[in-house]
Amino acid sequence: MYEVIVERAAEKDLRRLAPDVRPRVATALRTLAKNPRPAGSRKLAGTKHDWRIRVGDYRIIYEIADEIRVLRINRIRHRREAYR
């Protein structure tokens, strides 16, 4: 199991989510702790360790450090804003 660290920016993003979206994102974060590369996850082009998963219209952008078994959640954004 991986340790999940939620960055300050991602915490802020999480607080801004609609109440009906938050539980789905929380479930996705718990799932990531068990399997950091679930089906549907994609490695971000041009980065070394960054990945993303979809949760409805939202994207969780995270970094995997396999050697120390840590996931760093960088952002939780709507898909139209996620890659800006």
* Residue 84 pLDDT: 66
State pLDDT tens for residues 19-54. 999 999 999 999 999 999 999 999 999 888 899 999
Q: Write down the domain spans for the chain.
A: 3-78
Does domain 3-78 sit in CATH 3.30.2310.20? yes
Q: Specify the pTM.
A: 0.88
The Cα 4–Cα 73 span in angstroms is 7
Q: Are strands 58-65 and 50-55 parallel, antiparallel or unpaired?
A: antiparallel
Dig out the tokens for 59 from the structure.
């994207």
CA-to-CA dists, residue 27 to 7, 22, 45, 47, angstroms: 17, 9, 26, 26
